[in-house]
Amino acid sequence: MQLVLEKRAERSTLIAVASPLIAIVLTLVTMSILFAILGKNPIAALNVYFVEPLTDTYTLGEIIVKATPLVMIGIGLSLCYLANVWNIGAEGQFLIGAVCGSWLAVVTNGTGAGYWVLPAMLVLGAAGGALYALIPALCKVRFGANEILTSLMLVYVAELILDYLVRGPWRDPKGMNFPTTAAFDPVATVPTLFDGSRVHAGSIIALLVVIAATVMLGRTIKGFEIRVVGAAPRAARFAGFSADRLVLFTFAVSGALAGLAGIIEVAGPVGVLQPGISPGYGFTAIIVAFLGRLNPIGILIAGLFLALTFIGGEGAQISMKIPLDLTKVFQGILLFYVLACDSMILYRIRLIATPKKSAPASVQGNVHGTA
Amino acid sequence: MGLLEAILISVIAASTPLLLAAAGELVVERSGVLNLGVEGMMIMGAACGFAGCWLTGSTFLGALCGIAAGAALSLVFAMLTLGLAVNQVAAGLALTILGTGLSGLIGAGFVGQRIVPAPHLDIPFITTLPVVGKLFFGQDGFVYFSILLVIAIWWFLYRTRAGLILRATGDNHTSAHALGYPVLKIRLLAVLFGGGCAGLAGAYLPLAYTPFFIPGMTAGRGWIALALVVFSSWRPGRLVGGAYLFGAVTILQLHAQALGLGIPSQLMTSLPYLATVVVLVLISRSRGIAGSAAPASLGMVFVPDR
């Protein structure tokens, strides 16, 4: 007996809807086993991870704060992945967006500049992220260089640029030698929405991005183009869609969104430019994009869910001494299960009888897949 | 020991993990599978390799632990991409995220511990020869193994029937399947081999390069190894040159920093990453004229029909 993969006659709509939920359940089961191995009570740990953050208004707000960059970056990445373009350097674009926007905050610091500063910072952040993303896109279109590797390499470079600026030219002279800029002026800060919570106006921008992406993908030619180029490149060529221009477009948009998320993060919850402004948002957003099935509404939900794991992970570290790295393990396992469950939309697993060993040479071609 | 000799020796040390990981990935890609999880498998190899060595006191057993950890992680990747026909790019990224997290979990207890670094070859009279002695006869076992590994891979790919079948699988899995070759089984073995190599490459870092473990100590070497495979045009011979070139960039930036030329250290540290981008662009550009050297079925999903 043997397990083989078999293509379904048509996509399974049932599994398409259920797959993220099945993936989450499987992840929770795996996590329970991991908790048990670490010598923690699985029920208590899952409670700290996934339930407790939802019972308190402050942590609920923190989930929204963490979800804001994840959703914005995830939306941009989903456009790339729909078009079969692989931008995995969103972390770097996030940092460069933060750097470019912060430049204005640093030069206007203490000059009493007006309320134009913050909008200009957001524009600079988005532009910086987009330009940084265009480097791998241009390398791909112009020279055929693999965008996965170049976009990833530029993450390391972005980290070093940020590090250089806050240790060198932009360091706060009154900052006791800490690698950080001076605290941003109020006109350079994203306003919070409620008292007693860090939820800020950036979350509204994230929601607008979700709406804009929904409209673009569902109602415009550009959205159609993205999906056609990704799903059927040959048909797209006949339709006159340029794959190269789409590489530039999707990279620029995803870079702009990552950059915008970056400057919102420093001008909002963080308030200064410093190393370590991102706990890996750019990479987690890849999981968000896939868990959300590359659909804007799905990404909104997935972003909130993964934000919950960040907050829950911090809670679990404090109250149960569970290492923070477990959150990453959790995220990796989740992505695996999501991908595996998604595969079941197109395929089914069948149990078949193993072919006889003594089969003649002519039928040995019927080799079955082994997993 | 002269400065030049010291630099050359450190270049070899810095190149060896790149060479080991890239050699494994080359075989994987030649079979038609793109495993982007090298970084994750390397850092797992580093954590488990260190743990193994610390617990047993043996570099050899530590290296075996690293190989096992890398291969185990690559098995997860194989189950998804080969068994369930999952997109290889996405699964590779998942592997890197998972490996980073797991290595942090495993390595947490070992941060700050020290081990005895891997012994270096010492042949009386020969190792003490001026200039060439230490360079060629005074390295640790990993260095010699990495060279032997590349030679073995070259011999396997180009001089054995199994190697020919592996290359055929990577170039056209449909034809290979039609001829009766077990495409998925071949790819499974290739992926496991690549995982073991990546694990060993990771283990080299705490076992020989620096005698301690730091989370994230691979610092993108897995990704550079992936770029090296492209750089080498999927040929083992060119891989050696590429790996030593990148090792040289890494070491030269360290020496330039030590000299204090007034260049920001961050610029120097970013050199290997920038060099990777530049090299990829140059290689891809020249390839544009000569046609792609990549295995034709690279990264494509294969589900055998019945």
Each residue's pLDDT, cut to its tens digit, for chain A (371 residues) gives: 677 888 888 887 888 888 888 999 999 999 999 889 888 888 998 998 889 999 988 899 999 999 999 999 999 999 999 999 999 999 999 999 999 999 999 999 888 888 899 999 999 999 999 999 999 999 999 998 889 889 999 999 999 999 999 988 899 888 778 889 988 999 899 999 988 888 999 999 999 999 999 999 999 999 999 988 888 888 888 888 888 999 999 999 999 999 999 999 999 999 899 998 998 899 999 999 998 989 999 999 999 999 999 999 888 888 888 888 888 898 899 999 999 988 888 888 888 776 655 444 444 444 444 43
- Ordered structural domains, chain B, with CATH: 3-119+137-290 (1.10.3470.10)
From A5, A168, A364, residue closest to B303, measured CB to CB = A5
Query: B98 vs A163: CB contact, 8 Å cut-off?
Result: no
Query: B304 vs A148: CB contact, 8 Å cut-off?
Result: no
- Alpha carbons A301 and A308: distance in angstroms, whole number: 11
CB atoms within 10 A of CB A45: 22
Query: A368 vs B304: CB contact, 8 Å cut-off?
Result: yes
Query: B94 vs A371: CB contact, 8 Å cut-off?
Result: no
- At B176-196, the pLDDT tens digits run 999 999 999 999 999 999 999
Sign of the four-CA dihedral B213, B216, B220, B223: positive
Q: Which residues contact B31 (CB under 8 A, 6 or more apart)?
A: B166, B169, B170, B186, B187, B190, B191, B295
Query: B266 vs A333: CB contact, 8 Å cut-off?
Result: no
Please list every residue in chain A whose beta carbon sits closer than 8 Å to the beta carbon of residue B192: none
Please list every residue in chain B whose beta carbon sits closer than 8 Å to the beta carbon of residue A161: 266, 270
- At A123-176, the pLDDT tens digits run 999 999 999 999 999 999 999 888 988 999 999 999 999 999 998 889 988 877
Please list every residue in chain B whose beta carbon sits closer than 8 Å to the beta carbon of residue A336: 76, 80, 91, 94, 98
Angle between helices A57-82 and A221-231 (to 10 degrees): 70
Query: B105 vs A346: CB contact, 8 Å cut-off?
Result: no
From A153, A287, A326, residue closest to B277, measured CB to CB = A153
Query: B94 vs A164: CB contact, 8 Å cut-off?
Result: no
From A325, A328, A343, residue closest to B86, measured CB to CB = A343
CB atoms within 10 A of CB B76: 21
Provide the number of CB pairs (under 8 Å) joining chain A to chain B. 185
pTM greater than 0.95 (yes/no): no
Query: B264 vs A164: CB contact, 8 Å cut-off?
Result: yes
Query: A86 vs B288: CB contact, 8 Å cut-off?
Result: no
Please list every residue in chain B whose beta carbon sits closer than 8 Å to the beta carbon of residue A148: 36, 89
Residue of B112 and B158 predicted with greater confidence: B158
Q: Residue A51 has what DSSP assignment?
A: I
Query: B85 vs A347: CB contact, 8 Å cut-off?
Result: yes
Structure tokens at B292: 């792609």
- Alpha carbons B247 and B295: distance in angstroms, whole number: 26
Chain A: residue nearest B285 by CA? A143
Amino acid letter at A4?
V
Chain B: residue nearest A144 by CA? B284
Q: Is A82 helix (H, G, I), strand (E, B) or coil?
A: helix
Q: Read off the pLDDT band of B137 (50, 70, 90).
A: confident
- C-alpha distance from A290 to closest chain B C-alpha (Å): 9
Amino acid letter at B115?
I
- At B260-299, the pLDDT tens digits run 677 788 888 888 889 889 988 888 887 655 556 788 888 8
- C-alpha distance from B139 to closest chain A C-alpha (Å): 30
From B87, B182, B276, residue closest to A153, measured CB to CB = B276
Query: A139 vs B105: CB contact, 8 Å cut-off?
Result: no
Cα separations in angstroms, B18 against A212, B142, B239: 44, 12, 9
- C-alpha distance from A115 to closest chain B C-alpha (Å): 34
Specify which residues A348 forms β-bridges with: A6
Query: B104 vs A323: CB contact, 8 Å cut-off?
Result: yes
B26 close to B9: Cβ distance less than 8 angstroms: no
Chain B: residue nearest A366 by CA? B306
